[in-house]
Amino acid sequence: MTFQTYRNIIVGILISAMIIKAIFDMRNDRKKSKQNKKRMEDFVQQKMKNDYPEIHNKLLNERVTVTENKIYITNQKQNLRNIDFELLPVFEFKEEKPVIEIYEDDKLIRKFVIDTKNDNPDLTGQFFHSSIRINRNSSVQIDGIISDNPDTHEENGEGIRFQPFFLSDREEMNASLVGKGMFQRGLHYAGLISSGNTRLICICDFCSASFSVQFYHAGFSEIQYFYSSNSKETLLVRYEAIKDLPAQTQNEIDPNKLAEVERQLPKTKDGSFKYYNNFCCPKCSKPFINFQENKEIRPNEYYVNVYINEKPISYVKNNEA
Ligand SMILES: [Zn+2]
Residues 41-74 have pLDDT tens digits of 788 778 888 888 898 899 999 999 999 999 999 9
Nearest to 311 by CA among 240, 216, 203, 222: 216
Ligand 1 mean position to 258 CA, how many Å?
29
Distance from residue 130's CA to the centre of ligand 1 (Å): 26
Phi and psi torsions of 21, nearest 5°? -65, -40
Q: What is the per-residue pLDDT for 51?
A: 84
CA of 223 to the centre of ligand 1 (A): 28
Q: In DSSP terms, which residues pair with 143 in a beta bridge?
A: 131, 161
pTM of the predicted structure, to 2 decimals: 0.85
Highest mean pLDDT among 51-65, 79-93, 277-291: 277-291
Q: What pLDDT, on a 0 to 100 scale, did the predictor assign at position 3?
A: 74
Mean pLDDT across the chain? 92
- Is 140:102 a contact under the CB 8 Å cutoff? yes
What distance in angstroms lies between residue 88's CA and the mean position of ligand 1's atoms? Answer: 30
CA of 167 to the centre of ligand 1 (A): 21
> Could you tell me whether strands 165-166 and 85-87 are parallel, antiparallel, or unpaired per DSSP bridges?
unpaired
Over 90: is that where the pLDDT of 170 sits? Answer: yes
Do 278 and 287 meet the contact criterion of CB atoms below 8 Å apart?
yes
Higher pLDDT, 156 or 71: 71
Measured distance CA(309)–CA(321) in Å, rounded: 26
Distance 294 CA to ligand 1 centre (A): 19
Angle at 67 between CA 61 and CA 71, to 5 degrees: 70
CA distance linking residue 70 with residue 90, whole number of Å: 12
Q: Which pLDDT does position 1 carry in this prediction?
A: 65
Max avg pLDDT among 21-25, 119-123, 213-217 = 119-123
Q: What band does 144 get if pLDDT is binned at 50, 70 and 90?
A: very high
Strand order in the sheet with 64-67: 64-67, 70-73, 99-104, 107-113
